[in-house]
Chains A and B, each alone.
Chain A
Amino acid sequence: MLASLKIEAIGDNAVQSSRFFRSLFNDLLPGSGDAAIGSFPSRYFVAEITGVSKKFKWDRRFLRGNKDYARSNSSGSRGIFIYYTLESGKIYEVKEPASWKSFDRYFCYVNSSGDIIKILESEILEWLTRNH
């Protein structure tokens, strides 16, 4: 079964414009965009946990979502929603903005009726061993 996970991309306009200018400067003068603007940790993501990593703790495969601008405000700072499709039998890590400053980060899976169930990080290893 599949499920849809909705995340509001708060401040997406700032993320997109910083990406745009960084790549523009990098194209004009290689490295200048990275030096001037730098990179920021992603404000939101959904990733499938594929295994254990020594470096990052978990091996992850990042998902692409569908962006829905139907309820966006004019600047694009609020109201942009991203819809990710999750599959049952897999485990996911989610980072989503809860407000401008705080984030919600959790792990979840999809049950057979298509509901998204949150789990604790401590349960992941057991879950991965049981399901793979």
Chain B
Amino acid sequence: MAYKKPLNISVLEAARQRISWIFDNFPRIYVSFSGGKDSTVMLHLVADEAIKRKRKFGLLFYDWECQFKTTIEHVRNMFDLYSENIDPYWISVPLKTVNGCSQHEPEWIAWDESKKDLWVREREPSSIYDKARFPFYRDNMTFEEFMPAFGEWYSSGKLTVNFIGIRCGESLNRWRTLCAGKKQSMKGRQWTTWCGGANYSAYPIYDWQASDDWIYNAKSGKPYNKIYDRMHQAGMTAHQMRIDEPFGGTQRISLWLYHVLEPETWAKMTTRISGANTGALYCKEKGNVLGNGAITLPKGHTWQSFAMSMLKSMPPKTSEHYSNKIAVYLKWYRDRGYPNGIPDLFPGDLGGKDVPSWRRICKIILRNDYWCKGLSFSPTKAASYEKYKKLMKRRRQEWRLI
């Protein structure tokens, strides 16, 4: 059980002490920057320490192509402001990520060379877009694969820390990432996590609240992303405001903001990404449209037949992908207590526990949960995906489950 231990100092002082300890002990340091409020505050704090010690640190920003212009202006401003103390890594190589708004294009590639004429904007001239700069890069790499590989490459075998501006207060998952007992940290400091090799992540502002960011901004007078002012004008609370890749399964809920805050960017995004407009229109709807909240069974269907009819209505490639995942799910439970197949509906299943049912399968399909995280799957490695498909084709013939 984790308990809060008061340190009797302000969160700002605690963050400064943590950053100072990192500078004392780690020879290589870089900051993962998104342009959001948390990473901006963290960048200011790290830069203050670096300036004091006359040290340089890496500043990593992955440019998602579909981003607010205001965010890009802010990022540019930050790179300029700390230009003397940073090794700049403004990266705009093509990376693949999930598109939770479409079954026709369930994944999209930022800076996709084959869609250059549809790009939302031009690449930043100073950004790194030459793939050869990163020897670990390969085509169709995902963001989740790129980031740890970048850390390993950047470390060159030396002990390296990656500053990440996330807070426990953001979500239960964030709290688990930071405070879960089952992780290896540096010298027992729970706000650090060993990431494999010589790489650690550090979360110096993990105990901050969203309001602390704004108190810091107001008192320090340092630059922040002005998109937040516009979000405030659009009626969002401080806790609702966040900046992220736009089309992910959970992130799509903020798509409506684009056409309110930057209609000119939004117009380009709708032609660039399949399903963007549908996502913006329906992502806040509950029920069968995008699987948010409670879903209902159409008349004349069982959950199993509903799932099968949805699979049939999908584009063949997407249908095959989901069928592979569902087959593994069914096989798992066939071998573990459900020899006659999983039930249509599990009594009392409110979605909290992973109890097997066809209703659960319907839910992940409706949600466009491409990697079936709702069925406890992890994403398949992009490099092995073709091999995985061949293997699954053989296994499904053998299992005869779906």
Contacts and interface: CB of A to CB of B under 8 A. Distances in A.
Interface residues of B, number: 15
B184 interface: yes
A1 B161 CA distance: 13
Contacts of B187: 85
Interface string B206-219: 00000000000000
B186 interface: yes
Contact of A3 (B158, B184, B196, B197): B158
Given A68-B197, A70-B196, A113-B27, A2 B184 contact: no
A1 B27 contact: yes
Interface in A77-129: 81, 83, 85, 113-114
A114 B196 contact: no
A85 B196 contact: no
A114 B198 CA distance: 12
Interface string B283-308: 00000000000000000000000000
B297 to A, nearest CB: 43
A31 B76 CA distance: 68
A121 to B, nearest CB: 25
A2 B157 contact: no
Contact of B158 (A66, A70, A81, A114): A114
Contact of B159 (A68, A70, A114): A114
A6 interface: yes
B157 A4 contact: yes
Nearest to A4: B198
Contacts of A3: 27, 158-159
B160 to A, nearest CB: 8
B25 interface: yes
A89 B158 CA distance: 18
A49 to B, nearest CB: 20
B158 A1 contact: no
A2 B159 contact: yes
A14 B186 CA distance: 29
Contacts of A113: 27
Nearest to B24: A1
24 contacts: A1-B24, A1-B27, A2-B25, A2-B26, A2-B27, A2-B186, A3-B158, A4-B157, A4-B158, A4-B159, A4-B197, A6-B197, A6-B198, A66-B184, A68-B196, A68-B197, A70-B196, A81-B197, A83-B194, A83-B197, A85-B159, A113-B27, A114-B26, A114-B27
Closest 7 CB pairs of A and B: A114-B27, A4-B198, A4-B159, A2-B25, A68-B196, A66-B184, A66-B194
Interface of B: 24-28, 157-159, 184, 186-187, 194, 196-198
